[in-house]
Amino acid sequence: MHHAVVERWSRGTSALHRRDPRAKIAVLLVYLIVLATAHRNFALIGVVLLLLVLAGFLVARLPVSRALARAAVVLPFSLAFAAALWLVGDPYRGLTLVTKAWLSALAVLLVIATTPLPLLVHGLESAGAPRFLLTIAQFLYRYLFVIAEETAHITKAAASRGATMRGLLGRRARFRAAAGALGVLFARSYGRAEDVHRAMLSRGFSGKLETLGTLRFRTADAGFLAVTSALLVGVRAL
Amino acid sequence: MNPLVDVRGLEYTYEDGSHALRGVDFQLDPGETVALLGPNGSGKTTFVLHLNGLLKGEGQVRVCGLEVTTGNLAVIRRKVGLVFQDSDNQLFMPTVLEDVAFGLLNLGISPEQAAVRAQSALENVGMALAAQRAPYHLSAGEKKRVALAGVLAMDPELLVFDEPTTFLDPPGQRALAALLTQLPQAKILVTHDANFALAVCSRAVFFQEGRVAGAGPVEEVISQFEWSFRSPAPSAVR
């Protein structure tokens, strides 16, 4: 699974992995601002920003080609808007949009791939992100594995009774089968959510998700934040 | 000696109208281990969910000398540790250590102390090395042990297990039985597994249609209700 791979990447021990998540989030923010506000000389700035992120992946000892491919997951969305810009006669802006979307995804992926989720959540919380949203994200991440497993079971059960995508292709039956599977998945997910809530209550949960929260902002983190931010601001001035 | 659990005339009807409990009387002494046997839908799980106030029916439920009321829930939930059938529902935090510490943090214990107690609970169930792992990377047996550590960390007086052998292979079942027999707390095991009940429990209570249909030594109850698997006679198969 996609996020199982990223989860494994995030458990590395490189210098970038060891940085405090708050420092990485702050650098990411600076990177995204530089990227979003770059208009003149974008070709040059884009290349430098790409090289910086690639350097990050190399420092983190992560597979660059796989990271590039994974970041491309955002392209279908941005390509739709880029196509519209192309049609109205502004292909340069379309290309810029696609490049910015891909570079943003790459930078976000670098932060996620070098920060285990619990630390990322703590870091985002310290940075002022709403606790409620973080809790939802945390639970979604945790149960995505379980829901994916249940989806695989449903698919296998359907296949074992002779259902094939080719057999159903283009027929109403395909939509009926998909709707049925989605319904079952929703009912199971709903039931599981109730069970999880019950398990939380039984261990004294009263509405606020407490965590161990063990972040330490060291001198090295401050140095990392200062140097990379200065570098990024310098790139913006190109 | 006052019973640890004293339930009298417990009735419960679900919102859909199904009458799950029809006047259950049940007592458990400190240190005792009892199996709840009975067919699916006989009310076993519904009954144990009353012991820490997850369900509220008609009748009297006293646990550890306290009436189970809304005002007592925080204390009751510390004293009654519930281990659910599907460990995935119980392990919702990003790491094993954080999950085990979840209940402790809800008790108001400081993060530093919670981490120490959680680590100690993990050592007690032989999972100390898994502290920083994500729960979804564990095997079914490991998940069960971590779920147990999550309730043991809260230092409960009563442990309640709902179908503890589900998803476990025979070696996993043996390991769990060995672990349970070492724990000094009183235990209630909801199970279909007659062999597991024989290995761990001194007494059994048989549920049928929301009532206690029989109680006594495990072997006698199994024999009385023919509650063990035997191959059907060839004539019965035809």
Identify whether residues A121 and A81 lie together within a single domain. Answer: yes
Q: Spell out the domain ranges in chain B.
A: 5-228
Residue (of A231, A35, A25, A47) closest to A110 by Cα position: A25
Residues of B with CB under 8 A from a CB of A: 49, 52, 54, 74, 77-78, 80, 82, 84, 86, 88-90, 92-95, 97-98, 101-103, 105-107, 111, 114-115, 134-136, 150-151, 154
Domain carrying residue A100: 2-127+215-236
Domain shared by A90 and A144, yes or no:
no
Confidence (pLDDT) at A100: 94
Q: Is residue A207 part of a domain?
A: no
Residues of chain A falling short of pLDDT 70: 1-3, 163-171, 213-214
A52: closest CA among A213, A181, A236?
A: A236
Identify which of B35, B39, B130, B47 has the alpha carbon closest to the alpha carbon of residue B87.
Answer: B130
**Tokens, residue A82:** 């880029």
pLDDT for the residue A167:
56
Quote the pLDDT of residue A226: 96
A85 and A46 belong to one structural domain: yes
> What residues have CB less than 8 Å from B7, skipping those under 6 apart?
B24, B25, B26, B27, B47, B50, B59, B60, B61, B62
CB contact at 8 A, B7 and B26: yes
Q: What is the pLDDT of residue A48?
A: 95
pLDDT class of B232 with cuts at 50, 70, 90: low
CB contact under 8 A, B86 and A195: yes
- Is B235 a residue whose pLDDT tops 90? no
Q: What local confidence, expressed as pLDDT, does residue B221 receive?
A: 95
Distance CA B62, CA B10 (A): 11
**B158 or A118: which leads in pLDDT:** B158
pLDDT, tens digit, for every residue of B201-226? Answer: 999 999 999 999 999 999 999 999 98
Q: What is the mean pLDDT of chain B?
A: 92
Question: Do residue A62 and residue A151 come from a single domain?
Answer: no
- Class of B5-228 in CATH: alpha beta
Is pLDDT larger for residue A212 or for residue B187? B187
- How many distinct structural domains can be found in chain A? 2
pLDDT tens column, B23-81 = 999 999 999 999 999 999 999 999 999 999 999 999 999 999 999 999 999 899 999 99
Shared domain for A88 and A140, answered yes or no, is no
Contact assignment for B136 to A146 by CB distance below 8 Å: yes
pLDDT score recorded for residue B195: 92
A185-222 CB burial, b ≥16 within 10 A, e <16: eeebeeebeebbebbbbbbbbeeebbbbeeeeeeeebe
Residue with tokens 């600076």: A30
The pLDDT of residue B197: 94
Question: pLDDT value at position A201?
Answer: 92
List, in sequence order, every residue forming a beta bridge with B190; answer none if it has no partner.
B36, B162
Q: Which pLDDT score is estimated for B233?
A: 63
Is the domain of A21 the same as that of A72? Answer: yes
- DSSP conformation letters of A103-118: HHHHHHHHHHHTS-HH
* Residue A229: Cβ within 10 Å count: 17
> What ipTM, to 2 d.p.?
0.85
Six token digits for residue A191: 């039931």
- pLDDT at residue A101, rounded to an integer: 94
Q: Answer yes or no: is A210 within a domain.
A: no
The band of B21, judged by pLDDT with boundaries at 50, 70 and 90, is: very high
Write down the pLDDT at residue A6.
Answer: 82
Residue A163's Cβ-count burial label (10 Å; 0-12, 13-18, 19+) is: middle
Tell whether A138 is covered by a domain. Answer: yes
Cα gap A147→A192, rounded to integer Å: 10
Residues in chain A, total: 238
Q: Are the beta carbons of A210 and B88 separated by less than 8 Å?
A: no
Q: State how far residue A210 is from chain B, nearest Cα, in angstroms.
A: 6
Nearest CA in chain A to B93: A142
A22 shares its domain with A100: yes
When pLDDT is averaged across residues B133-143 and rounded to a whole number, the result is 88
User: Whole-model pTM?
Assistant: 0.75
Average pLDDT over residues B89-113: 91
Distance from CA of A128 to the nearest CA of B (A): 20
A89: left (phi over 0), alpha (psi -120 to 50) or beta: left
Q: Which residues contact A141 (CB under 8 A, 6 or more apart)?
A: A3, A117, B94
B121 pLDDT band, cuts 50/70/90, is very high
Residue A209 belongs to some domain of the structure = no
Same domain, yes or no, for A16 and A114? Answer: yes
DSSP E strands in A95-201: the ranges are: none
Q: How far is CA B76 from CA B21, B142, B196, B237, in A?
A: 21, 27, 27, 49
pLDDT of residue A146: 78
Q: Note whether A121 contacts B154, CB cutoff 8 Å.
A: no
A73 & A103 share domain: yes
